[in-house]
């Protein structure tokens, strides 16, 4: 059993006054044993408890957080931004450049990029008007001397990541572009393409782009993929061959994008390239015709700064 509290023997020394039944002191509260506490004059009483103040601060912080995470349509178009289709799919293409055999493999998709100006609404397929300088990536397949009899004795070429920039001008449904990339890994050359395409939108979901294109590379690139060095000539039996840099293929293609809903879409491409110039005259080329087919699923990402 808890011991009862003893009354203060000296109320005034304890800061207490006795309530004799008359009018209690200002601000006094009734306490056990008849004592009341009289706070010093001028003391401000707290308006709420510590727990109450903490709950109030938490509510203010939560409201501020929700306001920061809520983006209105007007705010969504403020500042510079970037939008792109990013995804994964599969492709069927020649086993190596100049091969007559086809090979299936993964297709890493990064396309339909838009750089958005302040106040400009994001497009669903990268078709914004004007001049753009855009980042571009490509994964180029390599080749091995064991891939075909025609390659016996030639050096292997590893897969190459090609990174660079795409210069594009779009006006209405027509756009022209120039792509320049640097090889990192398998080959160390400069490679790129130049072309034009036309945008056709039969309905709100489907977009088509027929396209013509010329592909080019510098001396380093063409020597790696189409040349035969003196050592390779001795090992393979092919004549030594030193192709010059320039256009190595010309082609046509048809790209398509079908919106599934939200930010998801199916994308695909049918392409036909034909080797030309020094590339077509390489002694180990099996077929100058180079068709390919690609199909994948992408998500449309959009980010404002």
Q: What is the pTM of this model?
A: 0.69
Could you tell me if residue 72 is inside a domain?
no
Could you tell me if residue 122 is inside a domain?
yes
The predicted pLDDT at position 26 comes to 52
Cα separation, 112 vs 128, in Å, equals: 10
Indicate whether 209 pLDDT > 80.
yes
The predicted pLDDT at position 82 comes to 83
Could you tell me if residue 50 is inside a domain?
no
- Domains in the chain: how many in total? 1
Could you tell me if residue 61 is inside a domain?
no
Q: Are strands 16-18 and 174-185 parallel, antiparallel or unpaired?
A: unpaired
CB atoms within 10 A of CB 157: 20
The predicted pLDDT at position 171 comes to 93
Could you tell me if residue 127 is inside a domain?
yes
Tokens describing residue 191 = 């490679």
Could you tell me if residue 208 is inside a domain?
yes
Query: CA dist 251 to 212, 213, 214, 218, 275, Å?
Result: 6, 5, 6, 19, 9
Instruction: Return the exposure string of 206-236: e unless at least 16 CB atoms fall within 10 Å of the residue's CB, then b.
Output: ebebebebbbbbbebbbbbbbbbeeebbeeb
* Of the candidates 45, 1, 39, 2, the residue with the CA atom closest to the CA atom of residue 17: 39
The predicted pLDDT at position 229 comes to 95
Could you tell me if residue 236 is inside a domain?
yes
The predicted pLDDT at position 151 comes to 95
Indicate whether 200 pLDDT > 70.
yes
Domain at 212, CATH number = 2.40.160
The predicted pLDDT at position 124 comes to 73
The 3-state DSSP composition of the chain as helix, strand, coil percent (nearest 5) reads 15, 45, 40
The predicted pLDDT at position 24 comes to 52
The predicted pLDDT at position 77 comes to 56
Tokens describing residue 117 = 């100006």
The predicted pLDDT at position 7 comes to 55
Q: What is the mean pLDDT of residues 106-130?
A: 79
Q: Where in the sequence is the domain holding 212, given as residue range(s)?
A: 79-304
DSSP class of residue 226? H
The predicted pLDDT at position 5 comes to 54
Question: HSE of 77 in the Cβ direction (CA atoms, 13 Å)?
Answer: 7
Could you tell me if residue 214 is inside a domain?
yes
Cα separation, 176 vs 78, in Å, equals: 28
Tokens describing residue 116 = 């958005």
pLDDT > 70 fraction of the chain, expressed in percent and rounded: 74
């Amino acid at each position: 059993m808890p011991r009862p509290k003893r009354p203060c023997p000296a109320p005034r020394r304890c800061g207490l006054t006795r309530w004799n039944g008359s009018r209690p002191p200002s601000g006094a509260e009734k306490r056990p044993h008849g004592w009341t506490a009289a706070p010093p004059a001028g003391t401000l009483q707290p308006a709420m408890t510590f727990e109450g103040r903490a709950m109030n601060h938490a509510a203010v912080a939560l409201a501020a957080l929700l306001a920061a995470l809520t983006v209105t349509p007007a705010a969504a178009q403020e500042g510079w931004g970037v939008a792109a289709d990013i995804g994964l799919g599969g492709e069927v293409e020649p086993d190596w450049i100049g091969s007559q055999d086809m090979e299936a493999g993964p297709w890493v998709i990064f396309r339909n990029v838009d750089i958005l100006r302040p106040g400009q609404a994001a497009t669903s397929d990268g078709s914004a008007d004007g001049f753009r300088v855009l980042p571009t990536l490509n994964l180029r397949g390599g080749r091995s001397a064991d891939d075909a009899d025609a390659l016996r004795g030639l050096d292997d070429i590893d897969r190459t990541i090609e990174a660079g920039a795409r210069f594009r001008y779009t006006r209405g449904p027509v756009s022209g572009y120039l792509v320049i990339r640097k090889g990192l890994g398998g080959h160390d050359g400069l490679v790129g393409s130049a072309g034009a395409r036309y945008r056709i939108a039969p309905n709100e979901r489907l977009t088509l782009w027929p396209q013509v294109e010329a592909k080019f590379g510098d001396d380093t690139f063409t020597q790696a993929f189409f040349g035969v060095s003196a050592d390779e000539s001795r090992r393979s039996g092919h004549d030594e061959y030193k192709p010059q840099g320039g256009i190595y293929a010309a082609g046509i293609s048809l790209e398509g994008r079908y919106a599934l809903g939200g930010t998801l879409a199916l994308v695909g491409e049918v392409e036909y390239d034909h080797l030309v110039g020094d590339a077509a005259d390489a002694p180990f080329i099996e077929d100058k015709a180079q068709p390919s087919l690609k199909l994948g699923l992408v998500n449309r990402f959009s980010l404002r700064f």
